[in-house]
């Protein structure tokens, strides 16, 4: 017995041994819940089954969604750059009233669930949205004049909404960090302002612009909720096609092949992104004299500034404001309601959330979806924090293991939630996990989606704890556990909180994997919103918007808290 | 050539330049010397057109440069941090100004080769500038500034970021290159040794205006006030009151001192500062005039002579003299100063 303990202790004291122990649980978790489903996808795709063979496949069925995905992603990315780059220029060079507000605003899309964004655009431009209803009542029309839902432009606009802020943030950060002296040097050497821009400023911005482009392309490529909810059935990206094939046509082999195709593409894009974002580090030297924003001067400058700001405002604020406002206003008749309709402010949609109506979509009051989402999010937080901390500590010991484990760990980042959901269905839809009986699969999937983000938050914080602090505590008489409690934990608290909020918002808003794994009697908020918003009747629509508003507020509060925490951490408070 | 008149500029609502005027002649290297924060760099940026002056004028051959944008002024400017373009290699950095003149590629290549030869860095053309050492970066920055044949070159603390040994060799090299190129230059520094090594003419910038200008040795022989003498560390500065104008006598903590002055004789009762240079102390016990007596506190051998620190009294706790022979600590020593060697200076700012 003592011999076993001694061996154990020797193991834990050796860096390789400790690394192995720390990697063990994350590796088992990832192996069982990520790589097993992935392998299952591969074998299902390659193994001929009755009525399906990879070799007899009509390649049009792959090519069509693939080419459409590439096409829409390219177009969305271009549009995003067209709007985002002038925005980045504006944020770099100018001070204007409300700049802080705009800055905060640009963090929102990072964390807003796709269902909320889709609902927002629905409330803004959809058939029952503000613009259409206003036009109908103004001109006494019989049908909504603006056809927004189920159009290609709806997909593009939503993607631009999502990703403009990525371009804005990444590029304007790099831009304002540029050494102003380089531009001055170019001018002294005889470069006109335009040539200074093309010869000095732009080449230096290139890595940032490329990195942003890859990132935006990746997000557009893997976008699911927006395409499904705003584009409708005729626009099938790879993601939507996987979803349709798997859940509606029950063609799991084809769905698997599509998943693999998708996975390969995202891997390639991620690799490209890593290469160009590595470039940026090489070039940037500490700025001796950064660019300080100034007030706009000439009339032309003011006009340009106003136009860009107005465009950003409409793009970013209008859908979210429409969503929140529409959830408090009654404008059309409830189903079955006749005669005069009472229009005006109402809390009806929120009150109805707690009512279990007969003929409702679920057999539980919709508010239960919020409770479920919250419960699942709590489990997700527990899982990701445990795994994230273990991975973080494992990465501290630089051994050969890390070289193997790091890519293994980051691969789930490239896999889409849809792929994950599909893999889960294939592998676990049998005892003891069967989704029909065991809702734990949902938070596990969420944890896999969130884990790469959490590791990226925790690892730098862990690295920042100087080993001499721990040694000092040990010399002063603290046991190893005590050292962790007295030194590590207090120093990690902000990062742990940030990670928890990340996990919370990711889990609460996750839609792709949830569509596969959710149980009808345990709906989550995004799934409930998706079901309600496409139903006829003012009540269903209003309830969908009310739930979206709740979700939006949760996420907004989350990102606000994260910003506060990051700020206080930076200030050393 | 260049003339700068009455330049004014405020920074953070504090006056930084309060009417600076000077000119630069053909083939001349002018050194702008001043403590950090005196506005030297700002002055260069104004001349380069990177900043607008709030008053005054920058002229070239009597034509005002107001309204001429930076890129059309044809001046060269070498930045303190070199500002080499990190996304271009050595040759591309040097070629930048030539490219802006839209010269043919062959000529650009030739001139870059020549420039690399001048700075002794042939074979470096394809290197990344981020991989160069500090001294190499400095040379590339100089070559880049010189390559387009600017009509004037400005250098902003070009050796500031380098270590001491490197500075000595590079300042020599720099002087030769500037001299050979025959391009008029303004050289900004806060380091006097560097300024003496480079400058044909020195401008001392203090509190927003040119305090004194002249050849380097003139600052040594005829500092215009006590601040200049202190800035150059010329010697012991002792305050006193004028008690007689002819001959000039000043009452000081050392006793009554006979002194001389270079310009206007100060008024009776005026507070002045007397400069006693350590090297001009004489050991002539028979003379009683301008006698300084003190106890030896410390001595340091400085190559040819000994720098000896004396304690005179409570008001003058430290007085430095140079002696040819060593003395013992604690000894009481007496030295004399000739009246022509004691310089009476304005207190200055």
Alpha helices (H) in B85-233, listed in sequence order? 90-100, 105-118, 134-146, 164-181, 192-198, 216-221, 226-231
Q: What are phi and psi of B16, to 5 degrees?
A: -105, -50
B71 closest CB neighbour out of A179, A192, A288: A192
Which residues on chain B are in Cβ contact (under 8 Å) with A206?
Answer: 87
Under DSSP, is residue B204 helix (H, G, I), strand (E, B) or coil?
strand
B87 closest CB neighbour out of A188, A189, A204: A204
What would the pLDDT profile of B106-161 be if each residue is shown by its tens digit? Answer: 999 999 999 999 888 999 999 999 889 888 998 999 999 999 999 999 999 888 77
pTM, entire model: 0.78
Residue A1: pLDDT over 90: no
Mutate to test the interface with A, among B12, B41, B79 (most CBs of A within 10 A): B79
Mutate to test the interface with B, among A178, A181, A186, A188 (most CBs of B within 10 A): A188
Which residues on chain A are in Cβ contact (under 8 Å) with B95?
Answer: none
Structure tokens at A110: 């990072």
CA B289 – CA B339 distance, rounded (Å): 8
Q: Is A142 at the interface with chain B, CB within 8 A?
A: no
CATH class of B2-221: alpha beta
pLDDT at residue A54, as a whole number: 62
Q: Measure CA A104 to chain center.
A: 17
Provide ipTM, 2 decimals: 0.78
Q: What is the mean pLDDT of chain A?
A: 82
Mutate to test the interface with B, among A189, A206, A276, A284 (most CBs of B within 10 A): A189
Is residue A213 reached through a cis peptide bond, with omega within 30 degrees of 0 on the bond before it?
no
Q: How many beta-carbon pairs below 8 A join chains A and B? A: 81
CA A109 – CA A369 distance, rounded (Å): 23
What would the pLDDT profile of A531-566 be if each residue is shown by its tens digit? Answer: 888 777 777 788 888 888 888 888 888 888 888 888
CA B223 – CA B275 distance, rounded (Å): 10
Write the DSSP symbol of residue A292. P
Contact B68, B49 (CB under 8 A): yes
Under DSSP, is residue A207 helix (H, G, I), strand (E, B) or coil?
helix
Under DSSP, is residue B31 helix (H, G, I), strand (E, B) or coil?
strand
Nearest-Cα distance to chain B for A206, in Å, is: 10
Q: Is A294 at the interface with chain B, CB within 8 A?
A: no
What would the pLDDT profile of A344-387 be if each residue is shown by its tens digit? Answer: 777 777 777 777 665 555 556 778 888 889 999 999 999 999 99
Q: Measure CA A500 to chain center.
A: 15
Q: Is A483 at the interface with chain B, CB within 8 A?
A: no
CA B206 – CA B18 distance, rounded (Å): 10
A188 closest CB neighbour out of B70, B99, B130: B70
- Nearest chain A alpha carbon to B95: A189
What would the pLDDT profile of B224-239 be if each residue is shown by its tens digit? Answer: 889 999 988 899 999 9
Q: Domain B226-345: give its CATH architecture.
A: Beta Barrel (2.40)
CA B291 – CA B90 distance, rounded (Å): 62
> Do B79 and A185 make contact, defined as CB atoms within 8 angstroms?
yes
Residue A207 Rama label (left phi>0; alpha psi -120 to 50; beta)? alpha
Residue B292, H or E segment: strand B291-302
What would the pLDDT profile of A474-492 be if each residue is shown by its tens digit? Answer: 888 788 888 888 888 988 9
Angle at alpha carbon of residue A12, lines to A36 and A19, rounded to 5°:
40
Is residue B247 reached through a cis peptide bond, with omega within 30 degrees of 0 on the bond before it?
yes
B87 closest CB neighbour out of A189, A283, A288: A283
pLDDT at residue A341, as a whole number: 53
- Nearest chain A alpha carbon to B89: A283
pLDDT at residue A263, as a whole number: 87
> Do A204 and B86 make contact, defined as CB atoms within 8 angstroms?
yes
DSSP codes, A372-435: HHHHHHHHHHHHHHHHHHHHHHHHHS--HHHHHHHHHHHHHHHS-HHHHHHHHHHHHSSTTT-T
CA A268 – CA A378 distance, rounded (Å): 33
Question: Residue A104's CB: how many other CB atoms inside 10 A?
Answer: 13
For the beta sheet containing B332-336, the strands, ordered from the edge strand earlier in sequence to the opposite edge, are B319-323, B305-311, B291-302, B332-336
Q: Is A279 at the interface with chain B, CB within 8 A?
A: no
Minimal CA–CA distance to B2: which of B32, B22, B31?
A: B22
Nearest-Cα distance to chain A for B197, in Å, is: 26
Q: Where in chain B is the domain with CATH 2.40.50.140?
A: 226-345
Q: Is A282 at the interface with chain B, CB within 8 A?
A: yes
Which residues on chain A are in Cβ contact (under 8 Å) with B73?
Answer: 188
Question: Residue A485's CB: how many other CB atoms inside 10 A?
Answer: 13
> Do B48 and A204 make contact, defined as CB atoms within 8 angstroms?
no
B83 closest CB neighbour out of A179, A191, A196: A179
Instruction: Report percent pLDDT > 90 for chain A.
Output: 16
CA B263 – CA B250 distance, rounded (Å): 16
Domains of chain A: 12-56+352-573 (1.10.3720.10), 59-326 (1.10.3720.10)
pLDDT at residue B276, as a whole number: 93
What would the pLDDT profile of A57-105 be if each residue is shown by its tens digit? Answer: 677 788 889 999 999 999 999 999 999 999 999 888 898 888 887 877 7
Q: Where in chain B is the domain with CATH 3.40.50.300?
A: 2-221
Binning pLDDT at 50, 70 and 90, where does residue A282 land? very low
Of A197-211, A350-364, B185-199, the least confident: A350-364
Which residues have a Cβ under 8 Å from the Cβ of A490 and sit 6 or more positions away?
Answer: none
């Amino acid at each position: 017995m003592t011999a076993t303990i001694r061996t154990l202790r020797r193991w834990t004291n050796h860096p390789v041994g400790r690394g192995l122990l720390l990697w063990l649980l994350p590796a088992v978790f990832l192996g069982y819940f990520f790589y097993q489903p992935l392998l299952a996808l591969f074998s299902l795709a390659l193994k001929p089954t009755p009525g399906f063979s990879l070799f007899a496949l009509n390649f049009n069925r792959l090519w069509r969604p693939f080419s459409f995905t590439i096409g829409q992603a390219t177009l969305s990315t271009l549009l995003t750059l067209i709007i985002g780059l002038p925005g980045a220029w504006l944020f770099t060079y100018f001070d204007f009233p409300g700049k802080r507000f705009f800055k905060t605003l640009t963090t929102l899309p990072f964390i807003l669930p796709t269902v909320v964004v889709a609902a927002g655009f629905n409330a803004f431009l959809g058939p029952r949205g503000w613009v259409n209803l206003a036009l109908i009542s103004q001109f006494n029309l019989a049908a909504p004049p603006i056809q927004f839902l189920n159009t290609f432009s709806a997909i593009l606009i939503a993607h631009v909404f999502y990703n403009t802020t990525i371009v804005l943030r990444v590029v304007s950060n790099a831009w304002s960090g540029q050494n102003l002296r380089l531009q001055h040097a170019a001018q002294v050497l005889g470069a006109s302002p335009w040539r200074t821009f093309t010869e000095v400023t732009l080449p230096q911005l290139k890595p940032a612009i490329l990195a942003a482009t890859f990132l935006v392309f990746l997000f557009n490529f893997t976008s699911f909720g927006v395409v499904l909810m705003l584009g409708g059935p005729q626009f099938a990206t790879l993601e939507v096609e996987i979803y349709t094939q798997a859940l509606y046509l029950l063609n799991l082999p084809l769905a698997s092949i599509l998943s693999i195709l998708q996975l390969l593409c995202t891997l390639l894009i991620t690799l490209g992104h890593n290469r160009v974002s590595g470039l940026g580090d090489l070039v940037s030297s500490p700025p001796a004299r950064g660019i300080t924003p100034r007030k706009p001067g000439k009339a032309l400058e003011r006009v340009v500034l106003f136009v860009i700001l107005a465009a950003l405002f409409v793009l970013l604020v209008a859908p979210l404001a429409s969503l929140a406002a529409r959830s408090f206003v009654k404008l059309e008749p409830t189903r079955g309601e006749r005669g005069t309709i009472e229009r005006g402010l109402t809390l009806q949609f929120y009150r109805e959330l707690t009512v279990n109506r007969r003929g409702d979509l679920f057999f539980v009051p919709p508010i239960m979806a919020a409770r479920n989402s919250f419960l699942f999010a709590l489990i997700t937080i527990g899982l990701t924090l445990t795994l994230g901390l273990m991975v973080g500590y494992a990465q501290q010991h630089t051994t050969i293991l890390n070289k193997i484990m790091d890519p293994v760990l980051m691969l789930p980042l490239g896999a889409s939630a849809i792929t994950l959901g599909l893999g889960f269905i294939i592998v676990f839809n049998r005892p003891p996990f069967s989704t029909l009986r065991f809702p734990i699969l949902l938070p596990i999937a969420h944890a896999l989606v969130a884990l790469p983000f959490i590791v990226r938050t925790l690892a730098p914080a862990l690295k920042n704890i100087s080993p001499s602090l721990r040694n000092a505590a040990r010399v002063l008489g603290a046991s190893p556990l005590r050292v962790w409690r007295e030194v590590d934990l207090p120093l990690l608290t902000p990062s742990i909180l940030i990670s928890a909020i990340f996990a919370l918002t990711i889990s609460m808003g996750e839609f792709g994997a949830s569509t596969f794994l959710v149980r009808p009697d345990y709906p989550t908020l995004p799934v409930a919103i998706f079901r309600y918003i496409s139903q006829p009747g003012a009540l269903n629509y209003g309830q969908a918007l009310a739930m979206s508003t709740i979700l939006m507020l949760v996420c907004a509060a989350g990102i606000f808290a994260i910003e506060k925490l990051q700020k206080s951490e930076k200030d050393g408070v | 050539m260049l003339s700068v008149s009455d330049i004014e500029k405020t920074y953070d609502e504090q006056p930084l330049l309060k009417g600076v005027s000077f000119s630069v002649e053909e083939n001349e290297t002018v050194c702008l010397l001043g403590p950090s924060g005196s506005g030297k760099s700002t002055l260069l940026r104004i001349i380069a057109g990177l900043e607008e002056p709030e008053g005054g004028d920058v002229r070239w051959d009597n034509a005002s440069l107001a309204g001429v944008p930076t890129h059309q002024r044809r001046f060269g400017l070498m930045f303190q941090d070199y500002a080499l373009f990190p996304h271009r290699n050595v040759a591309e950095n040097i070629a930048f100004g030539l490219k802006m003149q839209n010269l043919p590629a062959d000529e650009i290549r030739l001139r870059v080769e020549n420039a690399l030869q001048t700075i002794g860095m042939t074979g470096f053309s394809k290197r990344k500038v981020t991989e160069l050492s500090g001294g190499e970066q400095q040379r590339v920055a100089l070559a880049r500034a010189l390559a387009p044949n600017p009509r004037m070159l400005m250098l902003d603390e070009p050796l500031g970021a380098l270590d001491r040994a490197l500075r000595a060799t590079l300042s020599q090299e720099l002087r030769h290159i500037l001299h050979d190129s025959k391009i008029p230059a303004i050289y900004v520094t806060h380091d006097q040794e560097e300024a003496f090594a480079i400058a044909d003419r020195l401008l001392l910038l203090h509190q927003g205006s040119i305090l004194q200008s002249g050849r380097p040795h003139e600052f040594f022989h005829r500092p215009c006030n006590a601040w200049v003498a202190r800035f150059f560390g010329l010697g012991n500065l002792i305050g006193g009151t004028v008690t007689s104008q002819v001959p000039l006598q000043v009452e000081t903590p050392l006793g009554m001192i006979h002194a001389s002055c270079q310009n206007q004789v100060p008024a009776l009762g005026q507070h002045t500062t007397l400069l006693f240079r350590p090297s001009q102390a004489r050991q002539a016990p028979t003379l009683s005039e301008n006698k300084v007596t003190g106890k030896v506190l410390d001595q340091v051998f400085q190559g040819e002579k000994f720098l000896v620190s004396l304690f005179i009294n409570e008001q003058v706790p430290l007085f430095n003299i140079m002696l040819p022979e060593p003395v013992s600590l604690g000894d009481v020593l007496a030295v004399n100063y000739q009246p022509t060697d004691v310089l009476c200076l304005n207190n200055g700012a």
